[in-house]
Structure 1
Amino acid sequence: MRYWEDIEVGARSRFGRYEVTRDEVIAFASKYDPQPFHLSDDAAAQTYFGRLSASGWHTCAMLMRMLVDHMKTEQQAGLGSPGIDELRWLKPVYPGDTLRAESEVLDKTPSRSRPDMGSYRGRTTVFNQHDKPVMTLTSIGLIRRRPG
């Protein structure tokens, strides 16, 4: 199990592989972000995107899937997150793209009120199959401290 004490500031990791499908882009947008450029090729052709593109919120959800899968392989003692400090969508994500992620630990802090846990702040970048960054975020993770 990976605990707060095992996290090293400056540590980097590469993880994930997510194939973006047209059906999933439309299904997500239909339910959560029904803007025309996420639902229709014709509508998207009239915009900056030029073609059907995934919602930025869908990109966040795809990253979350990759992140949770990664945490399972590491057996991290994660306790969730109090939030994201910064989020940027840099390039559109299109059906047919394959995403992956890289993260870096920026800092870590023991909890002042809960001696059984700590937090760390990390920067994550999502890349497409051309190694072009499509999204960045800085987030805070909560994690158990080593028992005993």
Structure 2
Amino acid sequence: MLYFEDIMVGSSKTFGHYEVTRDEVMKFAEAYDPQPFHLDDEAAAQTHFGRLSASGWHTCAMTMRMMVEDMKIHQQAGLGSPGVDHLRWVKPVYPGDTLSCRSEILEKRRSKSRPEMGIFKSKSQTFNQDGEVVLEMVSNGLIRVRDHGDSED
């Protein structure tokens, strides 16, 4: 199990493999982001996307899925997240793309009000099969402290 004490500022890892399908792009758009360029080939061709593209929110959801799958493998003592500081959709994601992620720990600190909890900030990037960044975000994570009697970082 990975705890606050195990997180090292500057450490990074790559993980994930997600194949984007046309069917999933359209189902997500129908349910959550029903804009024409996510649902209709002709409408999408008339935009800067040039063809049917995934919703940025769908890209976030696919990224989150890869992050959770990685957490399952590496057994993190996570406690959720208080939010995202930065989110940017850098390039469109298209049906047929294969996505992967990279995450880097930027900083960490112990919670002053909750000594059993640590807070860390990480930069995550999602890449397509060509190694191009399609999404980047800086988020905050909450994680259990192994020994909350110890005040060291």
Q: Secondary structure at the match of 2:66?
A: helix
Which residue of the partner structure matches residue 93 of structure 2? 93
Q: Which runs of 4+ in 1 moved over 3 A?
A: none
Once the two structures are superposed, the pairs formed by residues 1-148 of structure 1 within 5 Å of their partners are 1-147=1-147
Q: Secondary structure at the match of 1:113?
A: coil
Post-superposition offset of 1:147: 4.0
Which residue of the partner structure matches residue 151 of structure 2? none
- Fraction of identical pairs, as percent: 64
The runs of 5 or more residues in structure 1 that have no matched partner are: none
Q: AA paired with 2:4?
A: W
Q: TM-score by structure 1 length? A: 0.99
Q: TM-score by structure 2 length? A: 0.95
CA distance in 2, matches of 1:64, 1:39: 22
Query: How many residue pairs get matched?
Result: 148
CA distance in 2, matches of 1:99, 1:43: 25
Post-superposition offset of 1:61: 0.1
Q: Secondary structure at the match of 2:146?
A: coil
CA distance in 1, matches of 2:109, 2:29: 37
Q: AA paired with 1:5?
A: E
CA distance in 2, matches of 1:119, 1:15: 22
Q: Secondary structure at the match of 1:15?
A: strand
CA distance in 1, matches of 2:33, 2:109: 36
Post-superposition offset of 1:87: 0.4
Let me know the Cα RMSD of the aligned residues. 0.7
The runs of 5 or more residues in structure 2 that have no matched partner are: 149-153
